[in-house]
Amino acid sequence: MSQTSPIKQISTDQLRVGMYVHKLCCSWLTTPFWQSSFLVEQQQTITKIAASGVTQLWIDTGKGRDVRAEAAPTPATALASPESVPALAPFRFAPATPAPMAQELHRAASLLDKSRVAVLSMFQDARMGRAVDLDSAMPLVDEIAGSVMRNAGALIGLARLKTADNYTYMHSVAVCALMVALARQLGLDDAVTRELGLAGLLHDVGKMTLPAAILNKPGKLTADEFDIVKHHPAAGHALLQATGGIGAIALEVCLHHHEKFDGSGYPHGLKGQDISLHARMGAICDVYDAITSNRPYKAGWGPAESLRRMAEWSRGGHFDEKVFAAFVRCLGIYPVGTLVRLRSGRLGVVTEQPLQGSLLQPKVKVFFSSKSQTCIAPVLLDLAQPGAGDAIVGCEEAAAWGLSDIDRFWINEG
């Protein structure tokens, strides 16, 4: 006699905490979820599924509770999957009221100055073999998360403008902010989001074990030098383990943020789902900030150009495509600071993402006419407004138009 299949179709109103979603009856792109299958661990997840318009789904009763046995405990095997998260103490961020870009920019600038000093001190301690000061690190993560929750574009945009001289330290702050933003886009709870922020802050601490000549080299690394660089994830992992009190998420991201989805990364050549969700997130955030920043040996690419190139790398096996799609949704198709060309022929810089609606309709400060090849009086357009009368038709490179210092148009917004 054949066994009954553990896969069962149910309606959304039958879904309960503890069930394992095998598949939603829709395209994953039309929902706020990055996974095609996952354990339902909180009521908030059920609310999001219902709000996304999904009415039917498949559950796997072999990995979670059955609709007819709702008192059954969640099997340990479901929690042991690569997508599971460590059990963390309950935590809630302080409530954050959304803030306009102009208002948050001032707070974000002050926070970045404070963060640079704090991270420099932490990394210098690491270079001297001293333990990471968690009493300083966690409050910093909370402040960064607060800024991201008020207006993610402000801190993330400013952090991109780091100089080559302070890249190593400010890169860590930027990745912290990006990890928080991505975690919120994925619907992860506050406790996990906080640990991911800490992971971003500490992911490159192993670079403090590298010779300064390699870390700050203005040119391309030799093969031998790159082999030395490849040791920094393991070195950082060992340092954090020796510190004590560092959670599993930060340890995992530190060790595996250079792994690639196709198995071509380092240090262990992990592939696909063998790489934890947190490390896959770390890989995306790390690369985005690296390629948009000015480095000792290379000027950064623009935000939209960086996302375009990362999309190509993702299709080529570098990143988890679903997590990368969530990353694009949290930054916007045209991130803050992107130079765009409008249907009218004007050029402008994206100053802020829409709080709701289409990612194709951000706020843009127009300042240049491609028809007359001259600067014009700056005007702020909210493309999401019905009367905007214009639309983005593509991205542009500032150098191609002889433009420089275009970031002033969004930094000085308001």
pLDDT tens column, 55-95 = 778 888 888 888 754 333 333 232 233 444 556 888 999 99
End-to-end CA distance of the chain: 72
Return the amino acid letter for 343.
Answer: R
What is the predicted pLDDT for the residue at 245?
87
Report residue 411's pLDDT band, with 50, 70 and 90 as the boundaries.
very high
Q: What kind and span of H or E run contains 380?
A: strand 374-382
Residue found under tokens 């896969």: 7
What is the predicted pLDDT for the residue at 49?
78
Q: Is 388 exposed, middle or buried (0-12, 13-18, 19+ CB in 10 A)?
A: middle
pLDDT digits (tens, 9 = 90+) for 271-313: 999 999 999 999 999 999 999 998 767 788 999 999 999 999 9
Length reported for the chain:
414
More confident residue, 334 or 135: 334
What is the predicted pLDDT for the residue at 55?
73
What is the predicted pLDDT for the residue at 79?
26
CB count in 10 Å sphere of residue 129: 10
Q: State the Cα–Cα distance between residues 282 and 275, nearest whole angstrom.
A: 11
Q: State the Cα–Cα distance between residues 202 and 175, nearest whole angstrom.
A: 9
What average pLDDT does range 247-269 have in this prediction?
96
**pLDDT tops 60 at residue 267:** yes
- For the domain covering 101-331, report its CATH number: 1.10.3210.10
DSSP code string of 199-245: HHHHTTGGGGGS-HHHHT-SSPPPHHHHHHHTTHHHHHHHHHHHH--
More confident residue, 285 or 163: 285
Mean pLDDT in the chain?
87
Cβ within 8 Å of residue 45, ≥6 positions away: 17, 38, 187
What is the predicted pLDDT for the residue at 371?
93
Q: Where are the domains of the chain?
A: 7-79, 101-331, 339-411
CB count in 10 Å sphere of residue 292: 24
What is the predicted pLDDT for the residue at 359?
83
384: tokens are 């999401």
What is the predicted pLDDT for the residue at 178?
98
Low-confidence winner among 9-18, 150-159, 325-334 (lowest mean pLDDT): 9-18
Low-confidence winner among 73-82, 115-124, 221-230, 280-289 (lowest mean pLDDT): 73-82
| Nearest partner of 17 among 78, 86, 93, judged by Cα | 78
Cβ within 8 Å of residue 280, ≥6 positions away: 261, 319, 320, 323
**pLDDT tops 50 at residue 230:** yes
What is the predicted pLDDT for the residue at 372?
94
**pLDDT tops 90 at residue 52:** no
What is the predicted pLDDT for the residue at 243?
86
pLDDT digits (tens, 9 = 90+) for 352-391: 988 776 888 999 999 999 999 999 999 999 999 988 899 9
C-alpha distances out from residue 377 to 27, 133, 234, Å: 44, 49, 53
Per DSSP, 74 falls in state P
CB count in 10 Å sphere of residue 325: 16
DSSP code string of 9-63: EEEGGG--TT-EEEEESS-GGGSS-S-SSEE--SHHHHHHHHHTT--EEEEETTT
